[in-house]
Amino acid sequence: MTTLLRITPIEIVVVLFVLVVAYAAHGGARTLGKLSEAIIGLVVLFFICIAFLLLLSGSLEPQRMLPFLSKGIMPLIKTSFSSSLWVPYGELIVFLVMFPQMGKKAAFRKAGMAAILSAGVILAFSDLLQIWSMGMEYEKYSTFPLLDAARLINISDFINRMDALVALIIIFGVFLKCAIFLYAGAKGISVIFGKPSKTYIYPFALMIGALSLLVSHNFAEHTEEGLHLVIQYLHIPFQLVIPLLTAIWIWILSKRRRGSSE
């Protein structure tokens, strides 16, 4: 809405988007896996293209990241435990829904570790592109820093304004994330009520679309709620407290069962 579809009614965009997300989630874990393979390939390709074009246009200056850790390591640790810990790493709790379909524990552990490492590399590469092209201060206060970095591309006044690549990176990422979250939510509800998960996907998708229009009316509200309220009232309870208590409870039950069997 901010960059590409500025005059399109937001209701139309939301309805079309959630229906496509629901269609992807309706295919199940295998479909999401194949879809993610295609999307990650395109995202990596787009990042490489943006980096190469920024380099050719002379916009990359690595010295812009200096001085490195000028305020020490404490601000980095504080940011890691306040926001970066939950997005995206805390959301890996969602993938536990897919654990029964992954086979052995070793395969699930291997896939999870690969996901964490690859996500870290891509996010670090994206941040470096933004800092090297714009500087830390400009990148910190930019609404869409990667988009602003791509706008610096200008090769002989012929190749410029590569906004579409950044928009596709964001759209692909949000699309895949929403589809996985929707599938996980429907899968969890199906365990509680004993019905197939596909029964809940389309109703949930429409509900999510309606709530997205009610929760935030602009990007500023979305940022404020996403980086403050959601972390305090949703991420910490559902991604830390409840899983930790569940793990402790399962460990206690397993100890009791071992004691009784002996």
Exposed (0-12), middle (13-18) or buried (19+): which is 204, by Cβ within 10 Å? Answer: buried
Residue 44 tokens read as 């990596």
Higher per-residue confidence, 82 vs 208? 208
- Strands (DSSP E) contained in 151-195 are 154-155, 159-160
Our CA angle for 242, 244, 245, nearest 5°, is 65
**Which one, of 223, 185, 199, 226, lies nearest residue 98 by Cα?**
185
The mean of the pLDDT values for the chain is 83
Exposed (0-12), middle (13-18) or buried (19+): which is 8, by Cβ within 10 Å? Answer: exposed
Q: Is the pLDDT of residue 168 over 90?
A: no
Residue 82 tokens read as 């306040």
| Range scoring the smallest mean pLDDT among 81-85, 197-201, 221-225 | 81-85
- Give the integer Cα–Cα distance in Å for 93 and 86: 10
Q: Are 203 and 196 in contact (CB under 8 A)?
A: no
pLDDT above 70 coverage of the chain, percent: 97
pLDDT of residue 105: 79
As a whole number, mean pLDDT of residues 13-28 equals 91
Q: Is the pLDDT of residue 26 over 80?
A: yes
pLDDT of residue 119: 83
Q: Is the pLDDT of residue 195 over 70?
A: yes
CA distances to 122, 220, 245, 252 from 257, rounded to whole Å, are 44, 51, 18, 9
